[in-house]
């Protein structure tokens, strides 16, 4: 019996490399990006967006900030821990907004690469760009404009627009005759649709503190591939 077990063990050890090789052929694997791209939504690339604008005169476009242009979860994680660890009440506190803006918390926010490509593309076209956020400005001024300008190397930049509500955001989109609005949240897409302009979704990073996750493509909007980073 012992001899049989020894022979069987030796056989398995010899067969293991071949089995592993065969398994890799049968199961080529899939990247996280490929998994994300399998959902039945209107996927587009930055190149395709650029191609759709060819032949058109310079226009005016807008970007949401948090999770669209910047991965700013570190600021919000800090704020929640300091001001309301067990709730989202910190988002309604002027002390929190004043704190992160006057103390330049956004120096720890990470610029998203998809935003860099989009901003470069629109700048090259001569388009006017606005950064429009639902943040509250706070009573101590703001450093977000300077942070975005530095992070993306923007020479001439409009000050960040603080709307503090979806209604104000829609009105700004209409008043300034924007044609495209990029955002990660469902509310961003609804604001663009309400303003009668082209909504384009940038995917939110999976480790963002902003929960629950949005439903990319739920309004039939274009969704940029590989845009979580």
What's the DSSP call for residue 50?
H
Instruction: Of 71, 158, 58, 54, give the one whose Cα is nearest residue 106.
Output: 71
Q: Which residue is catalytic, options 22, 37, 66, 120? A: 66
Cis peptide before 170 (omega within 30 of 0): no
Q: Which residue is catalytic, options 22, 64, 89, 151? A: 64
Give the other-Cβ count within 10 Å of 21's Cβ: 10
What CA–CA distance (Å, rounded) separates 137 from 97? 6
Residue 64 annotated to the active site: yes
Residue 87, Ramachandran bin (φ over 0: left; ψ between -120 and 50: alpha; else beta): beta
* Residues 127 and 49 sit within 8 Å (Cβ to Cβ): no
What's the DSSP call for residue 153?
T
Helix (H) or strand (E) holding 42: strand 42-44
Catalytically active residues, by annotation = 64, 66
């Amino acid at each position: 019996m012992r001899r049989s077990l020894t022979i069987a063990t030796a056989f398995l050890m010899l067969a293991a490399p071949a089995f592993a090789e065969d398994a890799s052929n049968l199961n080529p694997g899939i990247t996280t990006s490929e998994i994300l791209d399998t959902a039945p939504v209107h996927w587009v690339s930055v190149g395709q967006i650029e191609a759709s604008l060819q032949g058109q005169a310079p226009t005016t476009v807008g970007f949401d900030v948090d999770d669209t242009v910047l991965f700013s979860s570190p600021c919000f994680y800090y704020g929640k821990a300091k001001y309301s660890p067990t709730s989202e009440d910190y988002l309604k506190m002027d002390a929190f907004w004043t704190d992160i803006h006057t103390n330049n918390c956004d120096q720890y926010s990470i610029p998203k690469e998809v935003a860099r490509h989009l901003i470069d593309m629109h700048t090259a076209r001569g388009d006017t760009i606005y950064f429009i956020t639902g943040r509250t400005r706070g009573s101590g001024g703001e450093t977000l404009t300077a942070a975005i300008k530095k992070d993306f190397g923007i020479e001439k930049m409009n000050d960040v627009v603080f709307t503090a509500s979806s209604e104000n955001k829609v009105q700004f989109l209409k008043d300034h005759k924007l044609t495209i609005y990029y955002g990660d949240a469902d509310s961003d897409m609804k604001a663009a649709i309400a303003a009668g302009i082209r909504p384009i979704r940038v995917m939110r990073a999976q480790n963002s503190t902003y929960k629950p996750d949005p439903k990319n493509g739920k309004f039939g909007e274009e969704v940029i591939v590989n845009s979580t980073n």
